[in-house]
């Protein structure tokens, strides 16, 4: 299946926190979107690998994505090296996305920045003809270069290069995030493990505040911000949000 967008996150829940509004928006516009989680989030302080899979599947259903896969690389200790780049190149070539959503290049969790760079490097290398890859059946995979890699802003704030209006899908976005009942605040989940940075009510409130703050910059209620190393080109000015700010 060819995808329009492949949203990649190193931990199951990164994609929901960083770009689920944009995913839901694009699916509403008829685009095919898949999610790739790089690790199973096995080092998370709360919940288990199994609960994470259940939560990720529920969030995928809420977002309406066409597929969700897990690369099962090692949480916390993976490297941006040839072995991992080749694994990622195979997925990119298999699904041929025009756009990739990726972790931020710099964030609170060191995995996020390392994954952001791994995804960006793999997206570039995937376009090189002389890097040969085959799928699971031994069939040759053609080189494929996504047109844009957009890094979603997750925990640490970065000034966005592009902001997408997600106001009309905001409730659904929060629903997708709250699927991770062991990770984020949810009354009655005290037994899922110790309180962490992300399991308090304040964390969920900060997610809403962040989307409001980014949305305000373009005059809408809620927004998601992305950084890009490549300039964004518009086909026409019709795509501009034309609200006075
Ligand atoms: Zn994460």
Cα(150) to centroid(ligand 1), Å: 17
Cα(9) to centroid(ligand 1), Å: 7
Confidence at 200, pLDDT banded by 50, 70, 90: confident
The pLDDT tens digits for 215-227 are: 999 999 999 999 9
Give Dmax (Cα) for the chain: 55
Full-prediction pTM beyond 0.85? yes
The pLDDT tens digits for 121-166 are: 999 999 999 999 999 899 999 999 999 999 999 999 999 999 999 9
Cα(187) to centroid(ligand 1), Å: 22
Strands 140-141 and 99-102, bridge-based pairing: unpaired
- Residue 187, pLDDT > 90, answer no
Nearest to 165 by CA among 223, 238, 80, 234: 223
Cα(239) to centroid(ligand 1), Å: 31
Tokens of 103: 């972790």
Cα(104) to centroid(ligand 1), Å: 10
Cα(108) to centroid(ligand 1), Å: 9
The answer to whether 28 touches 169, Cβ cutoff 8 Å, is yes
- For 180, other C-beta atoms within 10 Å of its C-beta total 26
The pLDDT tens digits for 6-31 are: 999 999 999 999 999 999 999 999 99
Cα(14) to centroid(ligand 1), Å: 5
């Amino acid at each position: 299946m060819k995808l329009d967008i492949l949203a990649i996150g190193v931990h199951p829940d990164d994609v929901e926190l960083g770009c689920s509004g944009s995913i839901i928006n694009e699916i509403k516009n008829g685009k095919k979107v898949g999610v790739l989680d790089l690790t199973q989030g096995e080092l998370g302080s709360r919940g288990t690998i199994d609960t994470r899979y259940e939560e990720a599947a529920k969030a995928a259903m809420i977002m309406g994505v066409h597929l969700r896969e897990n690369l099962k690389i090692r949480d916390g200790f993976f490297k941006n090296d040839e072995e991992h780049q080749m694994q990622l190149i195979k997925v990119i070539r298999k699904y041929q996305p025009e756009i990739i959503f990726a972790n931020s290049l710099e964030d609170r969790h060191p995995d996020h920045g390392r994954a952001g760079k791994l995804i960006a490097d793999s997206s570039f290398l995937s376009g090189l003809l002389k890097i040969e890859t085959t799928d699971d059946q031994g069939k040759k995979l053609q080189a494929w270069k996504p047109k844009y890699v957009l890094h979603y802003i997750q925990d640490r704030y970065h000034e966005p290069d592009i902001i997408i209006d997600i106001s009309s899908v905001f409730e659904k976005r929060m629903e997708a995030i709250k699927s991770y009942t062991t990770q984020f605040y949810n009354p009655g989940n005290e037994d899922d493990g110790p309180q962490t940075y992300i399991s308090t009510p304040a964390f969920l409130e900060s997610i809403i505040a962040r989307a409001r703050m980014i949305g305000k910059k373009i005059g809408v209620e809620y927004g998601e911000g992305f950084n890009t190393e490549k300039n964004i080109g518009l086909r026409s000015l019709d795509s501009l949000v034309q609200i006075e700010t």
